[in-house]
Amino acid sequence: MNKWGIISRDLQVKPRYNALLFLNNMTGQRVSVTGQGSWVKSFAKTDGKIIKTLVVNYDKDGKHIEAVPLNFTNLTNTNFEFKRIDWAGGVTKDIKVSTDSANWSTLELMNPNSAAIFEIIPQ
């Protein structure tokens, strides 16, 4: 297998290729994110309707499972679908949420060296 690039000479996709496909889901305008930790980093985007937040728990020693609080503020729709899409694991959470507030919070566990996209989809 060729060391460089995202597809090998024999047309096999490399992990980098799938990583780029995963990151390609993060489209739209940048949204402010606060409260990142030592191992957990994130950024968020919106297309004006759907809010997508990419969260990564990178720990080179592979030791730290993190309970990551996700706090969404100033939501324009209080009825929405909350979806978790894990890197290389597909959709692992898909729930309907109804709240009477413009703010909503949840706590998500992140294994070491994992990544997930969390989506808020108005209903």
Count how many domains the chain has: 1
Domain around 49 = 30-122
Q: Kindly report the CATH number assigned to the domain that includes residue 114.
A: 2.60.40.1500
Q: Are 14 and 6 in contact (CB under 8 A)?
A: yes
Is residue 68 over pLDDT 90? yes
pTM: 0.89
The dihedral region occupied by 81, where left means phi > 0, alpha psi between -120 and 50, and beta the remainder, is beta
Q: What is the mean pLDDT of the chain?
A: 92
* pLDDT score of 8: 85
Q: Is 34 contained in some domain? A: yes
Q: Is 12 contained in some domain? A: no
The DSSP H or E segment spanning 15 is: helix 15-23
AA identity, residue 14: K
Q: Is 60 contained in some domain? A: yes
What sign results for the dihedral spanned by CA atoms 4, 2, 89, 48? positive
Q: Are 57 and 111 in contact (CB under 8 A)?
A: yes
Q: Is 44 contained in some domain? A: yes
Q: Is 63 contained in some domain? A: yes
